[in-house]
Structure 1
Amino acid sequence: MEASKGVSRRSFLKGAALAGVGAAAAGMIAGCTPGKTSDTATAETAQAAASTNNSAAGADGTANPSWLGEKPTVDEADVTNTIDTELLVIGGGNSGVCAARRAAELGMKVVVMEKQPEDTWAPIGCDSGTVNSQAYLDTGAEAVDEMQVLNEWQLRTYCRSMPSIAKMYATRSGEVTDWIRSLAPQEELDEYSVYYSFPNGRRAVAINHSGYTSFPGTISYRDFNNTLGKGENQPAWGPILQYSIDESKKDGAEWLYSTTAVVLIQNDEGDVTGAYGKGPDGYVRVNADAVLLACGDFSGNGEMVLALNDEVRELAEASGLDTTDPSGFMGMGQDGMGHKLACWAGGVIEPGPRAAMNFGNGMGVPGLTAIGNYPVFGPDGKRFFNDAQLQFGGLGFMARRARGELMCTIADGKWEENIQNQGYEHNMSSTTCAREWDLVKEDLANYKTGPDGFEVYGFTGYGMNKSKMYAAETLEELADILGYEGEAKQGLLDEIAHYNEMCAAGKDTDWGRDADLMNPLDTPPFFGMAGNTDKGRISSGMVQMSGVLVTDNFEVRRLDDSIIKGLYACGNDCGGRYAVQYHTLMAGNSVGIATTQGYVAGEHIAQHLEEDKAAADVYAEKLAKMAEEAANNPAGGPPGL
């Protein structure tokens, strides 16, 4: 047998530095580099590996997945402006604003590269769910157990999320909310703050239903009275966050609006030392000690959605939908530039399953959004699942049901009493904040019976949108209105009678609905909504929730686990936050975790940048030693012997 060829630590480090790749274990072939191959893998083998890797760049740039494309180049002759700074934040949204302000107030020189024009800048979202902010506690709410929030986050992600990120959200998100709000005038906070799920109508702080615990703490920023002139109940989060932008500028941060990042700048060792952007006056070069990617998600790029979110693509294929036109699979978010910048520099997208917000296929249960969670009945009138398990995005099984099925949800006249037991999930009811509660009560009090229905204000969506609900004085009449006929109608009436018997017994022996949600449908008027399921559209949702692999300190990692010195990612560019699906243990936690990550990332970089770079070198030495030991061991031999 021919002896295996040895690999020296020096050659490994040289290759890893130049190409961002290396064999951390025997047989590992890297597929994510800044553009050159290492001494331990030929261009041919690395390219072959990358050809089946849809999450990273090719070893020499020629085998990049189609969604990534070729790494751009910028001619220095085309650069019209050069700026030197300590921290470059790419992206001025929820996470980027907080990162820039926090780093600047700690004395760091900061530049922000933001693609939106200054006069039309706006963040995505307006619901901010955080834990134990003083602003929320000042309403009279009780404090939440932070460790319970941490554990619930981990359970909902099947322990796939990074514990450091979950803990950061549980223990520091309230602090960040108060820090953001501290700059806004109190009259504006009073005008725009809507405190969800408190104080009306709840009997517990943390509510558990069918194994899922949800918590209060959401503040939604809405222009309820159209003070800003863009319509009633439109998002008002932008004006509050704008104060943090202004504060960052007071502390010396420079904002480059209307400037889109093009490509990161790296030295011969693969360290990130800045970025090129393209603005109104041409290309700008920003030299920086560190770059923080805060560019948002990739739902606005249909090609990336289909390539990286297997569930969206495969559900579309299983539903017979055409996937050749990616534009049909776009969401409300960003174009994925942050993910691309990271991968061109040597980073890699986190492994699947990859989460989306509000991923769906047109088959959602017809929900009584105004008044929360009630029993769901299928086309034969029978219940077919635990209808208390309506956590956000948790109904993926609906994709496996037949198309065109009639479904309905029914409540009765005791809805105001019953709502007190419901949780804080989006798909429960969040209308117990005082402003929206009064609107819902008014609409329900003025209900109209009959097939024409009546309009009810719902808590979801922007503006004063209403949903059509139907009412009747008897269940028989409501069944007719909702479209049930013959045996299906009788099946519905019989099922409701059976359901009421289980409510009296205090236990759902059919599907396990929680006892405190077993409220009989026996008091007129009866309210309902119905719909027919379909699979005609596969949505990528509002935003995609997956990012690139990072360390606990937000440093971007390569495929071989080495660290790209000087490159960080937060918000939707950062991996390790969600798994499978967005979840709402607290409504608005997407904005809440983005602002928290930005704040903590900016703080960490300002205080520990040089320590991170030194630690990255030490870690590279460790990886080199491991690779050397693995390569020099006989095949199959235990490591280190």
Structure 2
Amino acid sequence: MKLNQNSISRRGFLQGAAVASLAMGAGLYGCSSANGSGEDDSAPAQAAPSVWDIEELGEPAETLTADVCVVGGGGTGMAASIQAKQLGLDVLLIEKHSQLGGSFSGTEGMFAIGTQWQKDAGIELNKDDLLVKAVEFHHYVASQELYKAFFDKSASNIEWCESLGIKFAEVRAMGASDPCWHVYEGAPAPGAQFVENMIKAVEKHEIRTEFELSGKKLLTNEDGSVAGLLAARADGTVVQIDCPAVIVGTGGFSNNMGLVEELGNNPDLVAAMLDNGRTGDGIKMVKAAGGAMVSSPGTLMTGGPSVIGTSFGVSEAFACGVQPAIWLNERAQRYVREDMFERNFSYAGQSSAQQKRVLSFVNQALVDRFESGEGALVGVGTHILKGTQMPNLSRELESLIEMGIVAKGDTVEDLAAQFDLDGNALRATLDRYNEMCANGRDEDMFKPAEFMIAMEEGPYYLMDCYVSYLTTVGGVKVNPNAEVLRDDSSVIPGLYAGGCDAGGLYGDTYNVYVAPGSQAAWCIYTGRVAAEQAAAYIA
């Protein structure tokens, strides 16, 4: 099991329970002293630190030069670096970790329309119709200008990736979407295979790379154009990088819970998966240099109830928790049709994020089915397909029971008591659910009859969940050239942002319903376009 998140669970872990795989992030706020601290109470009050503050940096101990510095070695940064090198630029790629890839290994495929894959499969989609569908999905909060440029280049994105040695397995729909999701080879972990091939392409192009070096602060000329940036090595050494162009692709701010909360999310309910280094460094330094933020910068790619201590693509207990059995809130009541994870995982996440608490309920009969019977009722990405058995499920559940994350009981009343729920309310919910199963119709949430499976007998399992998100998908405002814009819509010369640092493609919800894999494709698109524009700017 693997859990990468920056905050402790709002319940058990706050009371001292331990999960070996839980990664706790350092606090973003300083501690203030009360009376008796030895401080002079008459002294002027100090302003509380802001989550947007950039740490104080010392004088540079060394200087590097390049035509363009790419900040961040994930999907966006690797794409930008390769494209820039292909265009003849002297590229310096800096990465805060000791290896490339970032969270892109968590992707499974990317959106595109008009590809040879679709033509060979006889798939005919109208790009303009899909574009309108996308901006309507986002209530016209998203930029139609960005969508048009992005969609127009999406097919060439696939071709460019293939030219680097990336292999795709198929094109298909995800849930209720149109068939425009191009899945990489390498299931059940296709993202890892994609990243491995991209790293080989970086090495083949002999791109100069500095590891364990984090971009911190942009340097500008008197006219506001980019002059370079300051970066910090793992040992604190400050490095000045002189360059006329900077491409920022640091992966968003998923692991910076201060920013997550600042931008309108509940830190007690949501938690990030994947890489733990996405602390908003790129967005913060762009904002400090005058870059504007889009109207929905705090958008999370949520995915529904996720059993605490588990991770998507790794744990069978995670897959069990999102199966269409019963999802409950703090009142032990259902709140959405539970097949929503398969139909539209973003909607599953959004509905879950509106609750105060999220839990998943199954009985032993369903566990047996998942483990050794007919298998999963619905698929979970490329990790577990519909009908796939989960042979390790009981072992994982027992481990989670020991940690206090999963409760098991012969009666629902016993179960409710273990998690401080109203036993009468839980009994009423289950009785109502079983009644509707017998009638073959979900009259409350309208879940399809095929998923209405009665749970008349125990033992029962109750899984404590958080609302997981794979990444943030909002950030600084850019134009279709990936150029960073100020509040007055003017361009900051020489500054580009891409991937999860660049906003404008979404409203308050990731649009898997319309364009599955759009964020992965957006990373490649913005990385490439930023490199093209940087080359033109430098020339």
Q: Within 5 A, what are the aligned runs for 1:151-550?
A: 151-184=132-165, 189=167, 208=176, 213=177, 215-220=179-184, 222=186, 235-249=192-206, 253-279=207-233, 283-307=238-262, 309-312=263-266, 316=268, 332-352=276-296, 354-358=298-302, 369=319, 374=324, 376=326, 384-390=335-341, 391-394=344-347, 395-398=349-352, 401=355, 407-408=361-362, 429-430=379-380, 436-437=384-385, 440-443=387-390, 454=394, 492=430, 495-499=433-437, 501=439, 503=441, 510-513=444-447, 517-519=448-450, 521=452, 530-531=461-462, 541-550=469-478
Q: State the Cα deviation string for residues 55-112 of structure 1 (Å, max 9, x = none).
A: xxxxxxx99962233685664xx45334242x22222211011112112212333332
Q: In 2, distance between residues paired with 1:68 and 1:418?
A: 43
CA contact (8 A) 1:266 1:273 kept: yes
CA distance, structure 1, for counterparts of residue 534 and residue 121 of structure 2: 36
Which amino acid is the alignment partner of residue 374 of structure 1?
Answer: P
For 2:57 and 2:451, the matched residues in 1 are separated by 66
Measure the CA separation in 2 of the matches of 1:522 and 1:69: 52
Amino acid at match of 1:131: A
Identity of aligned residues (%): 18
What is the Cα deviation at residue 598 of structure 1? Answer: 0.8
Instruction: Give the conservation status (yes or no) of the 8 Å contact 2:307–2:321.
Output: no
In structure 1, what is the Cα distance between the partners aligned to 2:64 and 2:201?
Answer: 26
Choose which of 100, 109, 115 in structure 2 pairs with 1:121.
Answer: 100
State the secondary structure of the residue aligned to 1:369: helix
Q: Is the 8 A contact 2:75 2:523 kept in 1?
A: yes
- Mapped to 2, the partners of 1:468 and 1:363 lie a distance apart of 8
For residues 418 and 360 of structure 1, what CA distance do their matches in structure 2 show? 17
Tell me which moved more, 233-242 or 338-347.
233-242
- The C-alpha deviation readout for 1:192-246, integer Å capped at 9, x for no partner, is x6658x5xxxxxx5864xxxx454524256476xxxxxxx989333211113312
Amino acid at match of 2:147: A
Contact 2:230 2:238 in 1 (8 A): yes
How far apart, in 1, do the equivalents of 2:322 and 2:278 lie? 31
Task: State the secondary structure of the residue aligned to 1:603.
Answer: helix
* CA distance 1:65–1:271, change in 2 (3 Å): farther
Contact 2:87 2:535 (C-alpha < 8 Å) held by counterparts: yes
Q: Which has the larger radius of gyration?
A: 1
Distance 1:241 1:64 in 2: 42
- AA partner of residue 500 (structure 2): N
| Counterpart contact for 1:95–1:294, Cα < 8 Å | yes
Residue 16 of structure 1 corresponds to which residue in structure 2?
none
Could you tell me which residue of structure 1 aligns to residue 30 of structure 2?
A: none
The amino acid of 2:200's aligned partner reads Y
**1:252-290 CA distance string (max 9 Å, x none):** x43333332242221111211222334589554433232
> Which residue of the partner structure matches residue 602 of structure 1?
531
Measure the CA separation in 2 of the matches of 1:144 and 1:370: 34
Unaligned runs of 5+ in 2: 1-45, 309-315, 398-404, 418-422
Alignment-mate amino acid for residue 154 of structure 2: S
In structure 2, the CA distance between the partners of 1:469 and 1:602, relative to structure 1 (3 Å rule), is: farther
Aligned equivalent of 1:68: 52
Contact 1:301 1:335 in 2 (8 A): yes
Query: Per the alignment, do residues 110 and 406 of structure 1 end up closer, same or farther by CA in structure 2, a change over 3 Å counting?
Result: closer
Please show how residues 84-163 of structure 1 align to structure 2 within 5 Å: 84-85=66-67, 87-117=68-98, 120-126=99-105, 127=107, 128-132=109-113, 137=118, 140=121, 142=123, 144-163=125-144
> CA RMSD of the aligned region, Å?
5.1
AA matched with 2:503: G
Inter-partner Cα distance in structure 2 for 1:160 and 1:333: 29
Q: In the alignment, does 2:539 pair up with 1:584? A: no
User: SS state of the match for residue 112, structure 1?
Assistant: strand
Amino acid aligned to 2:484: V
Q: 1:346 deviation in Å?
A: 1.7
Secondary structure, in 3 states, of the residue corresponding to 2:301?
A: coil
TM-score (norm 2): 0.67
Could you tell me how far 1:141 is from its partner in structure 2? 7.4
Partner SS for 2:85: helix
Q: Tell me, yes or no, if structure 1 residue 557 matches structure 2 residue 446.
A: no
For 1:470-491, what per-residue CA distance to the aligned partner results, in whole angstroms no more than 9, with x for missing partners?
9xxxxxx998998898896586
| Structure 1 position 578, deviation (Å) | 2.7
Separation in structure 1 between the aligned mates of residue 92 and residue 318 of structure 2, nearest angstrom: 46
Q: Give the structure 2 partner of residue 81 of structure 1.
A: 63
User: Post-superposition shift, 1:405?
Assistant: 7.0
Deviations 1:517-576 (A, max 9, x none): 332747999999852567xx787x443322112223222222333322111111122121
Structure 1 residue ranges without an equivalent (≥5): 1-61, 199-204, 225-231, 322-326, 420-427, 448-452, 458-466, 471-476, 611-641
What is aligned with 2:20? Answer: none
Q: Give the SS at the match of 1:103.
A: helix
Instruction: Report the counterpart of residue 401 of structure 2 in structure 1.
Output: none
Partners of 2:325 and 2:82 in 1: how far apart?
47
Given the superposition, is the C-alpha separation of residues 70 and 178 from structure 1 closer, same or farther in structure 2, using an over 3 Å criterion?
closer
* 1:311, distance to aligned residue in structure 2 (A): 2.0
Corresponding residue for residue 50 of structure 1: none
Instruction: Classify 1:529/1:125 alpha carbon distance in 2 versus 1 (closer, same or farther; 3 Å).
Output: farther
**2:375, 2:389 within 8 Å by CA — same for their partners in 1?**
no
Matched-pair contact (CA < 8 Å) for 2:213–2:232: yes
The whole-number CA distance in structure 2 between the counterparts of 1:577 and 1:162 is 6
Letter of the 1:376 partner, please give it: I
Q: SS of 2:533's equivalent? A: helix
Helix, strand or coil at the partner of 2:287: helix
- 1:418, CA displacement in angstroms? 11
Aligned AA for 1:351? S
SS at match of 1:312: coil
* Deviation of 1:343 (Å): 2.2
Instruction: Report the AA paired with residue 429 of structure 1.
Output: G
The answer to whether the Cα contact below 8 Å between 1:133 and 1:217 also exists between their aligned partners in 2 is no
C-alpha separation in 1, matches of 2:191 and 2:411: 34
Change (3 A) 1:333 1:82: closer
CA contact (8 A) 1:300 1:330 kept: no
Secondary structure, in 3 states, of the residue corresponding to 1:237? Answer: helix
Secondary structure at the residue paired with 1:95?
Answer: helix
Identify the match of residue 502 of structure 2 among 562, 568, 574.
574
Describe the shift of the 1:483–1:218 C-alpha distance in structure 2 as closer, same or farther (beyond 3 A): farther
Aligned partners of 1:64 and 1:163: how far apart in 2?
39
Which string of whole-angstrom CA distances, capped at 9 and with x for unpartnered residues, describes residues 431-479 of structure 1? 6x6x8549x5455xx89xxxxx84799xxxxxxxxx9999xxxxxx998
Retained in 1: the 8 A contact 2:416–2:426? Answer: no
Evaluate the alpha carbon distance shift between residue 370 and residue 173 of structure 1 in structure 2; reply closer, same or farther with a 3 A threshold: farther
CA contact (8 A) 1:101 1:247 kept: no
Distance 1:220 1:496 in 2: 40
**Cα 1:456–1:132, aligned 2, differ >3 Å: closer, same or farther?**
farther
Q: Which moved more, 1:264-273 or 1:587-596?
A: 587-596
Amino acid at match of 1:340: K
